[in-house]
Amino acid sequence: MEPDKKNIHDLVVVGAGPAALSAAIYTCREDIDTLLIEKGAIGGLAAVTDWVDNYPGFAKGIAGLNLSEEMRKQAERFGAKFELDEVLKISIEDGLHRLKMHGGDVYAKAVLIATGSDYRKIGVPGETEFYARGVHYCATCDGAFYRDKKLVVVGGGNSAVQEAMFLTKFASHIDMLVRGPSFRASEVLQHELNNHKDKITVHFNTTTDEIVGAEGKVTKVIGTDKTTNQKKEFITDGVFVFVGLDPNSGFLVGSGVELDEFRFIKSDIRLMTNVPGIFVAGDVRSGATMQIASASGEGATSALMIREYLNEMNREGTSSVKIEQ
């Protein structure tokens, strides 16, 4: 059965975060038929980041949601099309890349995977049970529910420090549980954190062992002070976990696309994977720096590489799509 011509695109981008949106701006300006498929929010994690202070061009910073919205509008202005669905599998059929989705299959001459990453879980008792009922991974999304409440923030990296400071807008007090002896966050953020000593207490060398609740609500976190091996309890109304990100690459199982040991997608200098015609950009790429600015840059670079790939296919007369005009 031949693919429906209406469902064949020059480029299908999986994801709609900064890398994907930047790529679409470039490809659409080159008259490359581009479809973006997103299963969640357009803008990805950037859209739920409270404030972006290090994206070039915004001297006073910009809200992550606003930045994402402006990038979406720009991509649409050049002709980008969006579809809300989930890519379940990618395979090759009749010389095309076939993307299986809930709403039906689409086909592409080239694919850009820009699915980004998702919040990493800590895997302790109570985390799953109280998810969205006291356990959260997005301060911007859920912080306002905890006005004048006590909170626990788990993590010691940039995101944990940034989100903890944001949560001081609502919480009466925050206990930060840092597994190691010091922060992994940048010096700049650590300096900023010192301005919130009245609301944030940092507990180094402290593990998070269990999240406890009653009547469907979180009531406390049980941890261990690694320096004394003593258990500690932190009375709290909610827990925000910021311990890193995991790549959204599960749908590539069986596709032939090569992943590294952490399930990030490997690529060459052109940002193409080991499967010809499948490219990768942004936080899901092996070696990515996990910054919005670099994801946007990779999106632009991948767009130029995709243009060259499609041009080369046409020059060689080996275009994967043979459609009568």
**Strands (DSSP E) found in the chain:** 8-14, 34-38, 81-84, 87-93, 96-101, 106-113, 117-119, 135-136, 150-154, 173-177, 200-203, 206-214, 217-225, 230-235, 238-241, 245-247, 278-280
Domain 5-118+245-315 identical in fold to domain 135-241: yes
pLDDT above 70 coverage of the chain, percent:
95
| Residue 285: alpha-carbon gap to chain centroid | 11
Per the model's pLDDT, the better-predicted residue between 119 and 249 turns out to be 249
pLDDT per residue as tens digits for the range 256-285: 999 999 999 999 999 999 999 999 999 999
Domain positions in the chain are: 5-118+245-315, 135-241
- pTM to 2 decimals? 0.78
Query: What is the distance between the alpha carbons of residues 120 and 264, in angstroms, rounded to a whole number?
Result: 14
What sections of 183-286 are H helices per DSSP?
Answer: 187-193
Which pLDDT band holds residue 322 (cuts at 50, 70, 90)? very low
Q: Kindly report the CATH class assigned to 135-241.
A: alpha beta
- Looking at per-residue pLDDT, the higher value among 50 and 298 belongs to 298
Q: How far apart, in Å, are the Cα atoms of 293 and each of 32, 46, 141, 251, 299?
A: 23, 11, 22, 26, 10
DSSP summary character for residue 158: H
Q: Do strands 135-136 and 117-119 pair parallel, antiparallel, or not at all (unpaired)?
A: unpaired
pLDDT value for 2? 59
pLDDT at residue 6, as a whole number: 66
* pLDDT band at residue 316 using 50, 70 and 90 as cut-offs: confident
First to last CA, the chain: 20
Please compute the mean of the pLDDT values over residues 26-34 and round it to a whole number: 97
CA-CA-CA-CA torsion sign (250, 253, 258, 260): positive
Q: Which CATH number fits domain 5-118+245-315: 3.30.70.260, 3.30.300.30, 3.50.50.60, 3.40.50.720?
A: 3.50.50.60
Quote the CA–CA distance of 213 and 230 in Å, as a whole number: 21
Band (pLDDT 50/70/90 cuts) for residue 325 is very low
> pLDDT band at 318, cuts 50/70/90?
low
Owner of token pair 């989705």: 101
> Which is more confidently placed, 49 or 133?
133
Q: What percent of the chain has pLDDT over 90?
A: 83
Q: What are residue 213's phi and psi, to 5 degrees?
A: -150, 175
- Model confidence band, residue 202 (pLDDT cutoffs 50, 70, 90): very high
Considering the chain, what is the average pLDDT of its residues? Answer: 93
With cut-offs at 50, 70 and 90, classify the pLDDT of residue 124: very high
Mean pLDDT value of segment 206-227? 96
Half-sphere exposure of 50 (CA within 13 A, CB side): 19
Q: What is the pLDDT of residue 5?
A: 60
Q: Which residue did the predictor score with more confidence, 1 or 9?
A: 9
Is residue 14 pLDDT above 80, yes or no? yes
Q: What pLDDT does residue 290 have? A: 87
Q: Is the pLDDT higher at 216 or at 323?
A: 216
User: What is the residue-wise DSSP string for 275-290?
Assistant: STTEEE-STTBTT---
